[in-house]
């Protein structure tokens, strides 16, 4: 059920009051507590410093403590950390902590907005609060007979603020809902979320949320010569699909951004079969495609000033009797031939076609998201994405967007010197280097081959953060929807990166 979110100036102190969203009685209130205020004894109304201390509550960011209030109302202390060290991320986590602590209550209120330290953008905080409640209350219950559901139906945000704050709450809700769409897709098993089912879901969402979609079936894919996608699909009983998405802003247009997402609906490894243990979780190997699709569902709400295009290659990677053999050579959309020496390095093969297609449409920038390499997890762990690219300023733009949204990313290099490690004896290029060094960078170098000319491109390897091993902040165990917020933030603030040719053109026009 969608959660209703509404702004109110002040909450009626009496639980019998009618201060909640839509005039409903509020039955749980979250109040922000700064660590320095707790230290000096300056705790908000309804809290007892000694009680909070007895519960081990230190107002650490993301920490919460439930306190019984008057007439059965629940009051939740929400830790915000030091008041000189808060960001929108702090408030997203606090709201998520409230959603988790009060998941048995129906009508929630959160009182943090009026104490937002100076210098922080109040609408951005409001947006993060809405996102936090939607994401903290998320559960994947579709396949459980008697699921433990969140009971939350409404959120009343207490605070002064006009249209801008209310609009930010609405935007936060749309973004939260989009991230939930991505999580549902990642959590759905590969046996039912086939490429065909994924494409059908995309069509449903396009209709519902107002963006354009084109679904290429096997015949179209053959006609378009997407040899990477066809090669990976060869071992499967399921047909491949290639989904193209498009969205236009209603106002001014500041450029075109192409989003590419890896859509392997299940990765068995193919003939280079994975071990039982490493196959667990491979239903989520379409998290990149899910993030891109989910991003489109929030574009109408966010209204970024750019045209947005989406490219989703969809197939599973299976070891059927006609599967691509080790040593086979595939011809990618752009004519490049690839020797497949490990069928488990399949993501780069389907992305190659997608990046080539995206390049043909001549966007001002390309971003791809892919659960691409275990090596990226070895380097950065389970919670940090690797970011690579061919254009430093654009990679910085992506990093800044991710930082602003509290989605951790860290740069990895694409050393030109390493490119020769994927030279092939029989084809233009091979899909693995044959050694175990710098696997994330080698995969990135492979992808770079399919980005045309000097189109600024950034690659996010989300193998780690696409799936969570534990609940943490706004994240819940399982699919995270990582990347959706980063993409939306990037699109909203997109600046066309200067390319080598535009820089040259400027220099020319000056002289």
Residues marked active site are found at 274, 348
CB of 194 to Mn ion, least distance (A): 17
Q: Quick one: what does residue 432 bind among ligand BES, Mn ion, Zn ion, none, with the CB cut-off 5 to 8 Å set by partner type?
A: ligand BES
CB of 422 to Zn ion, least distance (A): 17
Please, which residue, 339 or 344, has the CB nearer to Mn ion?
344
CB of 334 to Zn ion, least distance (A): 21
Q: Is 461 in the site for Mn ion (CB under 5 A)?
A: no
Task: Determine the Cα–Cα distance for residues 157 and 122; give it in Å rounded to an integer.
Answer: 12
Q: Is 363 in the site for Zn ion (CB under 5 A)?
A: no
Q: Measuring CA to CA, how many Å separate 127 from each of 26, 131, 171? A: 21, 6, 6
Three-state SS at 39: helix
Please, which residue, 397 or 441, has the CB nearer to ligand BES?
441
Residues 340-369 that bind Mn ion (CB under 5 A): 344, 346
CB of 267 to Zn ion, least distance (A): 4
Q: Quick one: what does residue 353 bind among Zn ion, ligand BES, Mn ion, none, with the CB cut-off 5 to 8 Å set by partner type?
A: none
CB of 376 to Zn ion, least distance (A): 12
Q: Measuring CA to CA, how many Å separate 146 from each of 103, 141, 149? A: 16, 9, 9
Q: Quick one: what does residue 316 bind among Mn ion, Zn ion, ligand BES, none, with the CB cut-off 5 to 8 Å set by partner type?
A: none
Task: Determine the Cα–Cα distance for residues 467 and 351; give it in Å rounded to an integer.
Answer: 20
Please, which residue, 258 or 443, has the CB nearer to Mn ion?
443
Q: Quick one: what does residue 373 bind among Zn ion, Mn ion, ligand BES, none, with the CB cut-off 5 to 8 Å set by partner type?
A: ligand BES
Q: Is 285 in the site for Zn ion (CB under 5 A)?
A: yes
Rama region for 188: left / alpha / beta (φ>0; ψ in -120 to 50; rest): beta
Q: Is 131 in the site for Mn ion (CB under 5 A)?
A: no
Of 156, 159, 298, 324, nearest in space to 233 by CA: 324
> CB under 5 A: which stretch of 44-52, 82-90, 196-204, 344-352 binds Zn ion?
344-352
Exposed/middle/buried for residue 84 (C-beta within 10 Å: 0-12, 13-18, 19+): exposed
What's the half-sphere exposure (Cβ side, CA atoms, 13 Å) at 423? 7
Q: Is 339 in the site for Mn ion (CB under 5 A)?
A: no
Cα angle 192, 370, 315 (rounded to 5 degrees) comes to 35
Q: Is 467 in the site for Zn ion (CB under 5 A)?
A: no
Q: Is 467 in the site for Mn ion (CB under 5 A)?
A: no
Please, which residue, 99 or 354, has the CB nearer to Mn ion?
354
Task: Determine the Cα–Cα distance for residues 292 and 307; give it in Å rounded to an integer.
Answer: 14
Cα dihedral across residues 201, 204, 208, 211: positive or negative: positive
Hunting for tokens 């990618």 — which residue is that?
332
CB of 276 to Mn ion, least distance (A): 15
Q: Is 267 in the site for Mn ion (CB under 5 A)?
A: yes
Chain residues binding ligand BES by CB under 6 A are 267, 285, 342, 344-347, 371-375, 432, 439, 463
Please, which residue, 131 or 346, has the CB nearer to Mn ion?
346
Q: Is 461 in the site for Zn ion (CB under 5 A)?
A: no
Of 263, 260, 270, nearest in space to 284 by CA: 263
Of 371, 373, 337, nearest in space to 352 by CA: 337
What's the half-sphere exposure (Cβ side, CA atoms, 13 Å) at 278? 14
Q: Is 267 in the site for Zn ion (CB under 5 A)?
A: yes
Contacting residues toward Zn ion, per CB under 5 A: 264, 267, 285, 347
Contacting residues toward Mn ion, per CB under 5 A: 267, 344, 346
């Amino acid at each position: 059920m969608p959660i209703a979110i509404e702004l109110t100036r002040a909450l009626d102190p009496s639980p019998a009051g009618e201060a909640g969203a839509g005039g409903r009685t509020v039955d749980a209130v979250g109040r922000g507590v700064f660590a320095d205020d707790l230290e000096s004894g300056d705790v908000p109304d309804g809290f007892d410093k000694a009680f909070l201390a007895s519960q081990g509550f230190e107002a650490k960011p993301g920490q919460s403590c439930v306190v019984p209030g008057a007439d059965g109302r629940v009051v939740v202390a929400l830790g915000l950390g030091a008041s000189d060290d808060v960001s929108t991320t702090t408030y997203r986590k606090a709201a998520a902590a409230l959603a988790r602590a009060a998941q048995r209550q129906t009508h929630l209120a959160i009182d943090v907005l009026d104490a937002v330290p100076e210098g922080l953008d109040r609408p951005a905080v409001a947006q993060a609060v809405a996102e936090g409640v939607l994401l903290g209350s998320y559960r994947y219950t579709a396949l459980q007979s008697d699921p433990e559901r969140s009971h939350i139906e409404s959120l009343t945000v207490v605070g002064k603020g006009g249209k801008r704050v209310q609009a930010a709450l609405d935007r936060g809700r749309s973004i939260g809902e989009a991230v939930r769409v991505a999580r549902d897709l990642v959590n759905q098993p590969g046996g039912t979320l086939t490429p065909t089912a994924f494409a059908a879901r995309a069509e449903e969402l396009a209709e519902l949320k107002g963006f354009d979609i084109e679904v290429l079936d096997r015949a179209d894919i053959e006609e378009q010569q997407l040899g990477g996608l066809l090669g990976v699909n060869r071992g499967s009983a399921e047909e491949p699909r290639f989904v193209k998405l498009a969205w236009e802003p209603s106002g001014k247009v500041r450029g075109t951004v192409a989003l590419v997402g890896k859509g392997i609906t299940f990765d068995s490894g193919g003939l280079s079969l994975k071990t039982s243990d490493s196959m667990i979780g491979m239903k989520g190997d379409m998290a990149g495609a899910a993030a891109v699709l989910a991003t489109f569902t929030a574009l109408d709400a966010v209204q970024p000033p750019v045209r947005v295009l989406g490219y989703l290659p969809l197939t599973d990677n299976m070891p059927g009797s006609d599967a691509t053999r080790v040593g086979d050579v595939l011809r990618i959309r752009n004519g490049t031939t690839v020797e497949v020496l490990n069928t488990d390095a399949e993501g780069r093969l389907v992305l190659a076609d997608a990046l080539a297609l995206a390049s043909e449409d001549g966007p001002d920038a390309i971003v791809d998201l892919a659960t691409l390499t275990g090596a990226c997890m070895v380097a950065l762990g389970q919670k940090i994405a690797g970011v690579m690219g061919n254009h430093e300023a654009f990679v910085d733009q992506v990093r800044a967007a991710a930082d602003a949204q509290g989605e951790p990313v860290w740069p990895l290099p694409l050393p030109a010197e390493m490119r020769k490690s994927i030279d092939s004896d029989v084809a233009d290029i091979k899909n693995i280097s044959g050694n175990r060094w710098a696997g994330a960078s080698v995969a990135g170098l492979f992808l770079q081959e399919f980005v045309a000319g000097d189109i600024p491109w950034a690659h996010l390897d989300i193998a780690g953060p696409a799936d969570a091993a534990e609940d943490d902040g706004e994240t819940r165990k399982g699919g995270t929807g990582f990347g959706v917020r980063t993409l939306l933030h990037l699109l909203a603030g997109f600046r066309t990166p200067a390319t080598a040719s535009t820089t040259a053109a400027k220099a020319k026009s000056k002289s």
